[in-house]
Amino acid sequence: MLLAMLVSASSFAEPPRAPEEDRAPPTRTALTAGAIIFLTSYGLSIGIGSQSLDEDHRGLYVPVAGPWLVLADRSDDDKLTDALLAIDGIAQATGALIIVGALIARTEPRRPESQAARKQLIRITPIMTRDRPGIAFSGTF
C-alpha cells in the first residue's frame, strides 16, 4: 500500500526545470520598442481625453480598451476620428503585446563557440604595397 502511494505520488512530480539564472533576460530591444509604442499611443490618448470637453472621451484613460470603448459609444459620423481611435487602439494593443511577448519568450543564452569552430577561420584583409593595393587572405584550419 505504501509502495503504491509512493509510485503514484512520484508519477505526478513536476519535471525538472532549468535554474532561473540559466534563462536569458528579456530582450531589451523588444521591451524598449513595446514600451515606446504603448506609452506614445497611451500618452496621446490621455492627452486627448484630458483636453476634450466631451464626457464620452473619458474612456480614453483606460489603457488598450479605452479607444475601443469610445469608438463604440460614438454617435456622430466623423470617419477621421473613428479611424484615429482605431489606430490608437491597435497601437496600444501592439505595444502591450510586444512587452508581454518579450517577458514571456526569453532568448536562449549564448554558448561559447567550440574549439573546432574557432580553428576554422578565414580572414580577408585589404593591403597596400608600394606599387599597388590588394587583398590578403589568411586563415587557420
What is the model's pTM?
0.58
Residue 140's SS3 state is strand
User: All 3 cell numbers of residue 91?
Assistant: 497601437
Query: pLDDT digits over 60-95, tens only?
Result: 999 999 999 999 988 888 899 899 999 999 999 999
Label residue 137 left, alpha or beta by phi (over 0 means left) and psi (-120 to 50 means alpha).
beta
- Dihedral angle of Cα 51, 97, 14, 22, to the nearest 10 degrees: -100
CB-count burial class (<10 Å; 0-12, 13-18, 19+) for 53: exposed
Q: 43-57, 59-73, 98-112 — which one is most confidently predicted on average?
A: 59-73
Identify the pLDDT of residue 127.
Answer: 85
